[in-house]
Structure 1
Amino acid sequence: MNVFAIADLHLSFSSEKPMGIFGDCWDNHAEKIKANWIEHIHHEDLVLIAGDISWAMTLDEVQEDLNWLGTLPGKKILIKGNHDYWWNGIGKVRSILPKNVFAIQNDSMLIDDLCICGTRGWQLPSHPKTTSDDIRLYAREVERLKLSLLSAPKNCQKKMVMLHYPPLSSNGDSTEITELLEKNHIDLCIYGHLHAQAHQYAFEGFKNGIEYRLTSADYLDFSPVKLNI
C-alpha cells in the first residue's frame, strides 16, 4: 500500500463554481486531478484528502462530487475544510459516502500499521488578521485534535495528522497544534488551504522530528503526492 495526499479538490459537479480567481491553472482542474490520479494510484493505495472537497452547500448537492471521488482508485480518507459547508454532522456525512471513502471527525483511522488523525484547524492566533472569533474557533479545533489523537490505538507503528489549515506559519514558530503533535509523537502532518501567492507562506520540511507537507491541489499541480510514511 502506498499513501498519497491531495487537498482542496473544490469539486462542483452539481453547481458551477469556477476557481479562476486563483489562476488559469484551475481551468478543468477536476479532469487534471482524475487523469493524474488514475495514472499513479492503484486499488490498494490510500489517498488522504485534507479538506475543501466540494463547493456544495447541502448533502444532496455534494452527492455527485462524492460519487465522482468514489469512482477513483484507492481508499480515501477525508477531513472537513473551511468551505465544506455540506459537512453537516458526521453521522449524516458517513451515511452518504461511497464504500471506499471514509471521514474523520473527533476520531481516527488505523490502516495496517498507520494511524491517521485529523481535524480542520483554523487561522493561527499569530495571523495579523486574526479576530477574537478566530481565536475561539482555533481553540475549539485544538480540542477536536486532542480528541482525535486520544482515539488513536496505542499499538500503531506510525502516526500522522491531517489538517486543512496550516499548523504553523512559514517561519516555523511553535503553536499549540505543533506542540500537541510533538507530544503525541506524530511522524508526518499534511495540510492544505493555501493557494496561488499564499503558497509562499507554507512551512515544509522537518521541525522537531515531524515532517510538514503542503498538499493543496494547485501546489501539487493537481497530482496527488506520494508520502514517505
Structure 2
Amino acid sequence: MRIFAIGDPHLSFAVDKPMDIFGSQWENHPAKLQEEWIQTVRPEDWVLIPGDISWGMRLEEAKPDLEFLGQLPGRKILIRGNHDYWWSTISKVRGILPADMYALQNDSIRIGDIAICGTRGWNCPGGYDFDEHDRLVYEREVSRLELSLKNADQQAIEKWVMLHYPPTNEKHQESGFLDVMRQYNVSVCIYGHLHGDGHRNAMLGEHYGIGFYLTSCDYLNFKPLQLR
C-alpha cells in the first residue's frame, strides 16, 4: 500500500467549463490525468485529493466527475475546494460517492498508522487580498482543522493534513493553520489551489518539522505524487 496525492482536477463532464482557457497545459487534461494515474497508482494504494474536484454546481452535475475518479485505481479521500459548489451536506456528498471513495468534513480517516485529517482552509492574514470577510471564514476553517485533528485516532503514529488552500500567505508568515498543525504534531501537509504563476508562492519542503507539498494537477503535470 502506497499513498499519493493530486488536487484540483477541475473536471466538468456535465457542464461546459473547459480548463484550457487557463493555458495549454490544461488541454484535454482529463485524458492526461487518467493516463498518468493508471500508470502510477495500483488498486491497493490511496490517493488524497485536496479539493476543486468538479465544476458542477449541483450534486447531479458532479456525479460524472466523481464516477470518472472512482473508476481510476486506488482508494480516494476528498476534501472540499473553493470551487466545489456542488458539495452539499456531508451526508448527501457521501451518498453519491463511488465505492472506495471517502469525503472528510470535521473528521478524519486512518490509513495504516496514519490519521488523515483536513479542511478546505482559506486565505491567511497578511496576504495581499486578505480582508475582514476573509477573517471570519479563516477563523472558522482553523477551528475546523482543529476539530478534524481532535477526531484523529489516538493510536495512529502520524497525523497528516489535507488543505485546499495553502497553510500560510504568500509571504509564508505565521498562521492559525500552522499553529494548529504544530500543536497536534502533524508530519505532512498537502494542499492545492495554486496554479500557473501562483506556484511560485508555494511553501515547499520541511518547515517546523512538517513536510509541505503542493499537489495541484498542473504543478504535478497531472501525475499523482507519491508521499509514502
**Cα pair 1:171 1:203 within 8 Å, conserved:** no
CA apart distance, 1:171: 3.9
Q: Give yes or no for the alignment of 1:85 onto 2:67.
A: no
Aligned match of 1:183: 183
CA offset digits 1:173-226 (Å, max 9, x no partner): 221110110110001000000000010110101111001000000000011100
Aligned match of 1:8: 8
Q: What is the percent sequence identity of the aligned residues?
A: 50
Structure 2: stretches of 5+ with no match in the other structure? none
Aligned match of 1:211: 211
Q: Give yes or no for the alignment of 1:36 onto 2:36.
A: yes
Q: Give yes or no for the alignment of 1:160 onto 2:160.
A: yes
**Cα pair 1:172 1:207 within 8 Å, conserved:** no
**Cα pair 2:203 2:212 within 8 Å, conserved:** yes
Aligned match of 1:60: 60
Aligned match of 2:136: 136
CA apart distance, 1:20: 2.3
**Cα pair 2:20 2:27 within 8 Å, conserved:** yes
CA apart distance, 1:159: 1.1
Q: Give yes or no for the alignment of 1:169 onto 2:152.
A: no
Alpha carbon RMSD of aligned pairs, Å?
0.9
Q: Give the number of equivalent residue pairs.
A: 228
The residue correspondences of 1:12-23 to structure 2 (distance < 5 A) are: 12-23=12-23
Return the alpha-carbon distance in structure 2 between the equivalents of residues 21 and 124 of structure 1: 28
CA apart distance, 1:170: 4.7
CA apart distance, 1:157: 1.0
Structure 1: stretches of 5+ with no match in the other structure? none
Which 4+ stretches in 1 moved above 2 angstroms? 169-173
CA offset digits 1:69-114 (Å, max 9, x no partner): 1100000000000000000110000000001110000000011111
**Cα pair 1:215 1:225 within 8 Å, conserved:** yes
Compute the TM-score of the two structures, normalised by the length of structure 1: 0.97
Aligned match of 1:104: 104
The residue correspondences of 1:194-209 to structure 2 (distance < 5 A) are: 194-209=194-209
Return the alpha-carbon distance in structure 2 between the equivalents of residues 4 and 202 of structure 1: 19
Compute the TM-score of the two structures, normalised by the length of structure 2: 0.98
